[in-house]
Amino acid sequence: MPLSLKLLLVLLHNALSFGIRIAMLISVPKWHPPVTAMAWLLVIFIWPIPGFLFYLMFSSRKLPQKRTQRHEKSIAKLLEEDKTIDMIREYTMPQIPEKLEKFARLGQSLADMPVMGGNKIEAITDTYELFRNLASDIDRAKDHVHLLYFIINEDKATSCVLQALERAAKRGVACRVLADAIGSKRFLKKAAPQLRKAGVTVVEALPPSLFRRFKTNARFDLRNHRKIAVIDGVKAYTGSHNLIEPTYQRKANGLPWRDITLAIEGPVIAQIQRVFVEDWYVETGEFLQETIPQLELDSRDVLIQTVPSGPCYPTENYQRLVAAALHQAQNRIIITTPYLIPDEALMEAMEVAVLGGTKVQLVVPQKPDQILAGNASKAYYEQILNMGVEIYLYKDGILHAKTMTIDNDLAFFGTSNFDIRSFELNFEINLVLYGEVPLLDIRRIQERYIASSRKLSIDEWEKRPLHEETIQNVAKLFSPLL
């Protein structure tokens, strides 16, 4: 290549890079909060052309117009049927503790779902037990089976569930499966065709497109992270388990994932079903009108409120509730999460809780399964420890359960990690449980996690090698984008 041509290309590259930097410096702060804007500008200033392309692909959390319209239409249709949920709520007559009434109203304002009483829950931690129970319930199904999971995989652990689906479909039960297009990519390619032949309707959720070429496609990194199973409207499962064997195909050197799923009976199933119906309509254009069966109320009267969240909502629903709960805590908070990449509001809320005399305990995996997210999480440890928060490193596998208990009467449970991605980008479903009985069910498991962990001290953490600290701090710079 002639020297003059090389010089011309270098000049063009430099001019383009300079132009991108100036243009992004003007536009990026306009569309993003300061922390996120700074992270994007860092990427763009280091790698102008690749950074600009990444910005075009991943910067906007907005959904395509057609998908947004379908979501709004589904909400309108479901609101028309709110009389059904209101009717159920009338005869459950939940008695919310007085000090939690304002919090319950906040949850209803954010998610359009009230607290429902008369429920029964069972916490399941053994993956194989969960799949056996789910398969057994599917074998008893008479009307419909609805499954929505981020990851579905065909393996020795899940084969009983997939085979039960085939049997149910062959006897005339309406079986619908919604699987995230990225998380369940292998399943959709290899196992879904066999299920479809058996009569199971399998649909991929959020089919990706880097530049959203199609009206219903989503940005590549916007994922449906929900985990839902509803059988005949009388039994539901939700929690952190995906439909895959517990080592995730030896993803982390064979370490098992530690999860919790709640098996639920009672009126709140109508809300969980509603989340599935909404997602199904957005993906297929088919609105499911399932009749709500007569439900037997449980004498324990567990009070539950469903809180869906995702980029289709105007507010970060779950983040707002978590922050509000932290601010009102008085005695003790326990949080378990595989990924902790907190935003400023969450950090401030934890600090305020500690300053107010509340004991805050955080349980995270000793060995995270993701390098970048894991190092970004660790970058916050020093600040969190200096606040007075206790950090416990779980040693017995990959802690994947996402829970929070507040004092003795408020528990959070579901699919959402305590990170920016779950709060802002992923479609999640979480439950808020009111009262001492359900909290104790979750807290007993949290206490087991703490017993299988080692407490991290600030002295130990400050002695970590310099190269590890450097990697963590660099990863932290990109935490608003993870």
- What is the torsional sign of CA 296, 299, 303, 308? negative
Catalytic residue among 32, 71, 146, 227: 227
Distance CA 362, CA 356 (A): 17
Closest CA to 212 of 63, 83, 324: 63
Q: Which residue has the tokens 């109508």?
A: 270
Eight-state DSSP code of residue 224 = B
Catalytic residue among 400, 409, 419, 441: 400
Catalytic residue among 143, 298, 369, 407: 407
Catalytic residue among 146, 378, 402, 476: 402
- Neighbouring CB atoms inside 10 A of 314's CB total 7
227 catalytic residue (yes or no): yes
Grouping H, G, I as helix, E, B as strand and the rest as coil, residue 24 is helix
Grouping H, G, I as helix, E, B as strand and the rest as coil, residue 409 is coil
Catalytic residue among 232, 259, 279, 441: 232
Closest CA to 238 of 192, 273, 204: 273
369 catalytic residue (yes or no): no
In this structure, the strands spanning 302-309 and 428-434 are antiparallel
Catalytic residue among 225, 235, 241, 378: 225
Query: Residues near 354 by Cβ (< 8 Å), separated by ≥ 6?
Result: 360, 387, 388, 389
Distance CA 282, CA 75 (A): 10
Bridge partners (DSSP) of residue 309 are: 428
- Tally the C-alpha atoms within 13 A of residue 466's C-alpha that lie toward its C-beta: 0
241 catalytic residue (yes or no): no
402 catalytic residue (yes or no): yes
- Neighbouring CB atoms inside 10 A of 101's CB total 12
Active-site annotation, residues: 225, 227, 232, 400, 402, 407
